[in-house]
Amino acid sequence: MYDVIIIGAGPAGISAGLYTKRANLKVLILYKDQSALEKTEWIENYYGFENGISGKELYKTGIRQAKNLGIDVKKEEVTNIQFDEKNQYVVMTEKESYKTKTVIFATGNKKNTPKIKGIKEFEGKGVSYCAVCDGFFYRNKDVSILGNGKYAISEANELINIANSITILTDGKEAPEIRADNVKIDTRKIREVRGDKKVEEVEFDDNSTTKTDGIFVALGVAGGNEFAKKLGIITKKDRIVVNENMETNIPGIYACGDCVGGLLQISKSVYEGTKAGLQAIQYIRKENA
Amino acid sequence: MSMLTFEEKNFKEEVLKAEGKVLVDFYADWCGPCRMMSPVIDDIAKELDGKVKVGKVNVDNNQELAIKYDVMSIPTIMVFEKGNPIKTFVGVTDKQEILDVLK
């Protein structure tokens, strides 16, 4: 059982880790995707680096710093988060499940909304972002999953015993490895999602169409926004909504850094990671009292 | 009055024929996000007690209603007026956004 699981190893996630670990909490940092910081060529506007520093170097230094302090840092993709018993969460990765008392999202500014015509307008009308939430409405129906990674497979597994058939639509990307009788894979590029009142069919670039009762979006690596939708965290314009203490609407769940919007700057992420960490410390001390 | 339970058998009387706006929360017991939405709906019911009817529909027990109103994702919050849904919120929604429609 961890006290804190932090998802993301950029400036916000690592800062949250440093503070919580130094308060003697049991901390795990999980990360997978490249941080925006890692992709930044050169940083010249951050305090203390008189000659500047490469984003990649600063990112790696942060992870080393966390490890040196004794924080568990694992490069594992988070595929699901669920409520456990009261006030506890289970964070599932491609490899393992971890129990924790608090979760801090520091998942960055990823946007996983596909730019396919029709997806946005059919949200809640056949387009879903959460298999475990909405699977019920697709019992014995033919559903599609948009995506091709581990997250897409995790969503497919949620639906395998519910839906009549599952088609993984990779939208031109490589096919994932999944073997199940009622799972098909279609790698054609998608042009449009169509329907009258709700999703009815998908049209591909080769002009052919296929019928579907619903599309579950599970692109790339799931970020804070995807998990927020599953857990019931309030989001606004694909940003996690937090108060000034980095608290979401769910007790014990915090978010910080680029995933909550605002300035996409290291200084801001460090501050918010610190704040989220301090808030988590307070929360756990209260729980333990 | 506060929180009501709407079902197939009372939906017409309680929601469609009601005077003024009615807030309907489509939910299920197994739905995590619905549990987060529930206290918000309770709050609204208390705040607007006597002004707006507020109630919940359990989609497990009332599948016909869910199908009729194209509910395919929960929580779905609908505001009814004069027998028709005038606004639908899909997913956990900020309290103020809902209140804005009810005022």
Q: What confidence tens digit (pLDDT) does each residue in A142-169 have? A: 999 999 999 999 999 999 989 999 999 9
For chain A, give the percent of residues with pLDDT over 90.
Answer: 73
Residues A9 and A35 in one domain: yes
Phi, psi values for residue A115, rounded to 5°: -90, 50
Inter-residue contact A151 to A110 (CB < 8 Å)? no
CB distance B76–A234 less than 8 Å? no
Q: What is the rounded average pLDDT of the residues A241-260?
A: 96
Residues A15 and A106 in one domain: yes
Burial class (CB in 10 A: 0-12, 13-18, 19+), A287: middle
Helical residues (DSSP H) of A87-171, grouped into ranges? 131-134, 150-159
Query: Which chain A residues have a beta carbon less than 8 Å from that of B31?
Result: 133
pLDDT at position A275 over 80: yes
Q: What confidence tens digit (pLDDT) does each residue in A251-263 have? A: 999 999 999 999 9
CB distance A229–B71 less than 8 Å? no
Q: Quick one: pLDDT at residue A238?
A: 83
Output the six-digit token pair for A166.
Answer: 């599952």
CB distance A250–B36 less than 8 Å? yes
Residue A157 in domain: yes
Question: From CA A145, how far away is CA A134, in angstroms rounded?
Answer: 13
Please indicate whether residue B11 or residue B73 has the higher confidence score (pLDDT).
B11
Q: Quick one: pLDDT at residue B1?
A: 56
Question: From CA B34, how far away is CA A129, in angstroms rounded?
Answer: 15
Give residue A154's domain range: 127-217
Say how many C-beta atoms besides its own lie within 10 A of residue A132's C-beta. Answer: 18
Domain boundary among A217, A251, A267: A217
Q: Quick one: pLDDT at residue A130?
A: 87
Please indicate whether residue A101 or residue A224 has the higher confidence score (pLDDT).
A101
Question: Considering CB atoms only, which of A125, A229, A235 is closest to B70?
Answer: A125
Q: Would you kindly state where each structural domain of chain B is located, as residue ranges?
A: 3-102
Residue A7 in domain: yes
**Interface contact B37, partner A, CB < 8 A:** yes
Residues A135 and A89 in one domain: no
**Is the omega angle on the peptide bond into residue B33 within 30 degrees of 0, that is, cis?**
no
Beta-ladder partners of B78: B24, B88
| Sequential DSSP letters for A183-221 | EEEE-PPEEEEEESSSEEEEEETTS-EEE-SEEEE--SS
Please indicate whether residue A282 or residue B70 has the higher confidence score (pLDDT).
A282
Q: Tell me which amino acid residue B58 is.
A: N
Residues A14 and A97 in one domain: yes
Q: Quick one: pLDDT at residue A129?
A: 86
Residue A116 in domain: no
Q: How far is CA A84 from CA A81, A102, A223, A240, A277, in A?
A: 9, 12, 20, 22, 22
CB distance B36–A231 less than 8 Å? yes
**Interface contact B99, partner A, CB < 8 A:** no
Say how many C-beta atoms besides its own lie within 10 A of residue A105's C-beta. Answer: 33
Mutual orientation of helices A11-22 and A55-68 as an angle, nearest 10°?
A: 20
pLDDT at position B24 over 90: yes
Phi, psi values for residue B97, rounded to 5°: -60, -40
Q: Quick one: pLDDT at residue A191?
A: 96
A&B contacts, CB < 8 Å: 67
Closest chain B C-alpha to A122 CA, distance in angstroms: 11
Question: From CA A175, how far away is CA A171, in angstroms rounded?
Answer: 10
pLDDT at position A87 over 80: no
Please indicate whether residue A74 or residue A178 has the higher confidence score (pLDDT).
A74
Q: What is the rounded average pLDDT of the residues B21-26?
A: 96
Grouping H, G, I as helix, E, B as strand and the rest as coil, residue B66 is: helix
Q: What confidence tens digit (pLDDT) does each residue in A72-83 have? A: 999 999 999 988
Residues A200 and A74 in one domain: no
Topology given in CATH for the domain delimited by B3-102? Glutaredoxin (3.40.30)
Query: Which residues does B39 contact at the CB level (< 8 Å), separation at least 6?
Result: none
Phi, psi values for residue B85, rounded to 5°: -70, 125
Residue A115 in domain: no
Residue A178 in domain: yes
**Interface contact B29, partner A, CB < 8 A:** no
Q: What confidence tens digit (pLDDT) does each residue in A190-217 have? A: 999 999 989 999 999 999 999 999 999 9
Question: Considering CB atoms only, which of A124, A232, A250 is closest to B90?
Answer: A124
Closest chain B C-alpha to A242 CA, distance in angstroms: 12
Please indicate whether residue A101 or residue A114 has the higher confidence score (pLDDT).
A101
Residue of B nearest to A231 (CA): B33
CA A279 to chain centre: 21
CB distance A230–B33 less than 8 Å? yes
Q: Tell me which amino acid residue A206 is.
A: D
Residue A120 in domain: no
Grouping H, G, I as helix, E, B as strand and the rest as coil, residue A137 is: helix
Question: From CA B81, how far away is CA A107, in angstroms rounded?
Answer: 41
Beta-ladder partners of A30: A7, A74
Residue A230 in domain: yes
- The residues of B assigned a catalytic role are 31, 34
Phi, psi values for residue A252, rounded to 5°: 85, 0
Q: Tell me which amino acid residue A185 is.
A: I
Residue A259 DSSP label: G
**Interface contact A241, partner B, CB < 8 A:** yes
Q: What is the CATH number of the domain that holds A140?
A: 3.50.50.60
What's the ipTM?
A: 0.74
Query: Is the pTM value of this prediction over 0.95?
Result: no
CB distance B32–A134 less than 8 Å? no
Residues A96 and A143 in one domain: no
Domain boundary among A200, A217, A234: A217
Please indicate whether residue A84 or residue B16 has the higher confidence score (pLDDT).
B16
Least confident of A236-240, A282-286, B46-50: A236-240
Domain boundary among A159, A192, A217: A217
Total of domains in chain A: 2
